[in-house]
Amino acid sequence: MRIVAIETPTHGRVIIREAGASSRSSPLWVVGFHGYGQNAEDMMAELELIPGSEQWTLVSVQALHRFYTKSEKIVANWMTRQDREFAIEDNIAYIDRTLATMLPAENVPQLVFVGFSQGVAMAYRAAVRGSRRPRRIIAIGGDVPPELKTASGGAFPSVLIAAGESDPWYTSAKLEADVDVLRSLGVDVDVFRYAGAHEFTPELRQRIHQVLASTGISPLLSAQ
């Protein structure tokens, strides 16, 4: 008996919400990667709650592997352990194609990748191994994937790691281990701990706003 991996085309689902009419010249695009059991709408809803989000173009990428919840909501996940390396390559190619399709040919914007939970690993992978390098990664409640822990530090942009103080999944020990690894590679890492669990909170959204406002054109400055 043999197990054979067969490559086949598939279609992904991406939601894009352009910056407001008064901010179309803003060079900042925020690309979101949702967590396990979520979908592109869920992540877009979170991105839109960030203060100043109307000033930036928001892109929410849905994972390729869809399934139904018990309530028959359609959600997705990025990968499982089965055929892991093939899934990683498929996902990176998917993000590369997404950005190549979405980004304007001229005045290429600055990018920030925002990952939540399982989507954090995808944000890291797309940033380090993909064809489009973001200015920053905002990693919320998720790990640095193991295959990147020996990557060149120069392959990483600056990173904000955020985690709820009572997060049962992304614990303090995991956060500290990730920070140690990234700093050993020479990566510029900042850490933000907030009151809450495995979730977005108003305090977290405000911190994300501060990071995004310092990348590209600040919405506070552009509003003046």
Nearest to 88 by CA among 97, 98, 78: 78
The total domain count for the chain is 1
How much is the pLDDT for 25?
A: 57
Q: Does 223 fall in a domain?
A: no
For residue 203, the enclosing domain spans: 13-217
Q: Report the share of the chain in percent with pLDDT over 90.
A: 85
Q: Is residue 181 part of a domain?
A: yes
DSSP H helices in the chain: 40-48, 84-102, 118-129, 172-184, 202-213, 219-222
Q: How many CA atoms lie within 13 A of 144 on its CB side?
A: 27
What pLDDT sits at residue 68? 98
- Could you tell me the two tokens for 7? 């490559």
Q: Is residue 8 part of a domain?
A: no
- Stretch 201-210: mean pLDDT, rounded? 98
Residue 139 lies in a domain: yes
| pLDDT, average across residues 107-129 | 95
Q: Which whole-number Å values give the CA distances from 124 to 137, 146, 148, 165, in the listed order?
A: 7, 11, 8, 22
- Does pTM surpass 0.85? yes
Q: Using one digit for the tens of pLDDT, what is the confidence trace for 151-187?
A: 887 899 999 999 999 999 999 999 999 999 999 999 9
Q: Under a CB-based contact definition with an 8 Å cutoff, are residues 183 and 189 in contact? A: yes
Is residue 6, in this structure, part of any structural domain at all? no
**Residue 104 has what pLDDT?**
77
Query: Is residue 211 in a domain?
Result: yes
Q: Is residue 224 part of a domain?
A: no
* Mean pLDDT score of the chain: 92
β-strand 13-17 against 158-164: which pairing, if any?
Answer: unpaired
Measure the CA–CA gap between 176 and 141, rounded to whole angstroms.
12
**Is residue 2 situated within a structural domain?**
no
Residue 41 CB contacts under 8 Å (≥ 6 apart), including other chains = 15, 60
CATH of the domain at 34: 3.40.50.1820
| Orientation angle between helical segments 118-129 and 84-102, nearest 10 degrees | 70
66 pLDDT tier (thresholds 50, 70, 90): very high
